Chain A
């Protein structure tokens, strides 16, 4: 297996520092999905060459030199591994439209054109899977004993599956042998670490971000589907009535939210379902509606997950009532 690379946010920071000059990305929309995205935009503008592969033109791809049309899950053959560790087969039901191609075929052709074709000798998706089997042999998630044939026959095989005659492991640790020095299960208490940006008198309110049920990730797919846009067409600022009253904020009044990294305006949604010291904004939208203009780029030292859930902000009521939610603007990105 190749060694660890940089996590997504660290990679963008390295671009910003000028250490990385070229980028090839697949289904990557950091201008919506990463925190502190004013920095992300600056980084993208510094890239000397950027190739974006995605099945729809996402907001980040606007910064690319070349955009290559990739394929959806429904157009590709391969495997997926579910959250329970079950490796399942994925079969194409339709072919990619127009000049769009499967991501693997794009990568293989690029490799050939760049003179590295010998390292990408794959004829079919199974050849790639077989390489993963060998690469993961002996590891925690051992795929060696999993073959396409076995997956199809058993409706999925669970890792670890170390040998061809191994049935797979639907439940881990049933043998009560744990991968620790003494073979026992360990509880790992996580020491509390305060957020990197506590509230203070200039930025007195906690800002937390997250999702709404009708949108998915950076919205590349779901902001294009009317029925998913209708239930929640634009990001709202959830605020508790007592905090709203303190600032004189009324329901659907436009509020400017400001942090040390950026500012943006959102209509208020006054609800008692949120803490009195915290406001919430969902992050699925791009451009002026993007909540990640405000969030902080501090990473968890182990998981490298950014602190999307807590930073300090200021609320500035504008006194202007927002017009009714408009679905037509949902895909607007700049």
Chain B
């Protein structure tokens, strides 16, 4: 299933999500929805953490898992991970709209677009990142919650944070291509 790596995909550029910096402006959703390849629907989702007690919002992109649950549960083999580590949105000619991926993803990323009878999710702006550009959301985020660039740069900018890409959901470990910024010394994020 893995194809030849796209030459212009710059592996030095990585995605770091610093959720506590999100101010809920939804500029990322608007920028994502500008794109015609998504049918003008945003593939990034901004939510309140707990509106009853806080105005804090958080942002969710596809984490591009090393062993993607979404692809593993897909009965139609519609979801593919390429050799750059990008997990693509469902192949529209294969997806049967069963929503298995919607249920399986531990980060709640894929959404079933009822009107299209298709699953759609973030593909790391493959049309942009494969030619060395940043994903749209990371070009508009005003607060630095979404950062796409070299690791040294983010470490210089955020000396008190460290990028983490290991998540523990109970006994299940998920490693991802996308990082979240956590307090220094953290090595994994546990979800109980």
A18 interfacial contact with B, CB 8 Å: no
B78 interfacial contact with A, CB 8 Å: no
Stretch binding the partner chain, chosen from B22-30, B101-109, B173-181, B184-192: B22-30
B51 interfacial contact with A, CB 8 Å: yes
A214 interfacial contact with B, CB 8 Å: yes
CB contact list, A77-130 vs B, under 8 A: none
CB contact list, A237-281 vs B, under 8 A: 251, 269-273
A211 interfacial contact with B, CB 8 Å: no
Q: Check A272 against B53 for contact (C-beta < 8 Å).
A: yes
Checking A213, A227, A251, A272 against B24 with a beta-carbon cut-off of 8 angstroms, the contacting residue is: A213
> Shortest CB–CB separation between residue A202 and chain B, in angstroms?
30
> Shortest CB–CB separation between residue A278 and chain B, in angstroms?
15
A213 CB contacts on chain B under 8 angstroms? 24-26
A227 CB contacts on chain B under 8 angstroms? 29-30, 33, 42
Alpha-carbon gap, A227 to B39, bound state (A): 13
Checking B26, B29, B52 against A270 with a beta-carbon cut-off of 8 angstroms, the contacting residue is: B52
User: Interface extent on A, as a size class?
Assistant: 10 to 19
Complex: chain A residue closest to B30, CB-CB? A227
A231 interfacial contact with B, CB 8 Å: yes
Checking B26, B33, B42, B52 against A271 with a beta-carbon cut-off of 8 angstroms, the contacting residue is: B52
B54 interfacial contact with A, CB 8 Å: yes
A269 CB contacts on chain B under 8 angstroms? 51
B interface, over-half SS: loop
B55 interfacial contact with A, CB 8 Å: yes
Q: Check B52 against A231 for contact (C-beta < 8 Å).
A: no
**Residues of B in contact, count (CB < 8 Å):** 12
Complex: chain B residue closest to A272, CB-CB? B53
> Shortest CB–CB separation between residue B46 and chain A, in angstroms?
8
Q: Check B26 against A214 for contact (C-beta < 8 Å).
A: yes
CB contact list, A266-304 vs B, under 8 A: 269-273
A interface, over-half SS: loop
Q: Check B54 against A273 for contact (C-beta < 8 Å).
A: yes
Q: Mark B20-61, 1 if CB is under 8 A from A, else 0.
A: 000011100110010000000010000000011111000000
With A213-B24, A213-B25 as contacts: A271 and B51 at CB distance below 8 Å: yes
> Shortest CB–CB separation between residue A316 and chain B, in angstroms?
23
B52 CB contacts on chain A under 8 angstroms? 251, 270-272
Q: Check A273 against B53 for contact (C-beta < 8 Å).
A: yes
Complex: chain B residue closest to A241, CB-CB? B52
Alpha-carbon gap, A273 to B54, bound state (A): 6
> Shortest CB–CB separation between residue A125 and chain B, in angstroms?
29
> Shortest CB–CB separation between residue A56 and chain B, in angstroms?
19
Q: Check B24 against A271 for contact (C-beta < 8 Å).
A: no
Alpha-carbon gap, A231 to B42, bound state (A): 13
Alpha-carbon gap, A272 to B52, bound state (A): 6
Q: Mark A176-214, 1 if CB is under 8 A from B, else 0.
A: 000000000000000000000000000000000000011
B42 CB contacts on chain A under 8 angstroms? 227
What are 14 sample pairs from A and B whose C-beta atoms fall under 8 A apart? A213-B25, A213-B26, A214-B26, A227-B29, A227-B30, A227-B42, A231-B26, A251-B52, A271-B51, A271-B52, A272-B53, A273-B53, A273-B54, A273-B55
Residues of B within 8 A of A (CB): 24-26, 29-30, 33, 42, 51-55
Of all A-B residue pairs in the complex, the 6 with the closest CB atoms, nearest first, are A272-B53, A271-B52, A273-B55, A213-B24, A213-B25, A227-B33
A-B contact sample (13 more), CB < 8 A, given A227-B29, A273-B54: A213-B24, A213-B25, A213-B26, A214-B26, A227-B30, A227-B42, A231-B26, A251-B52, A270-B52, A271-B51, A271-B53, A272-B52, A272-B53
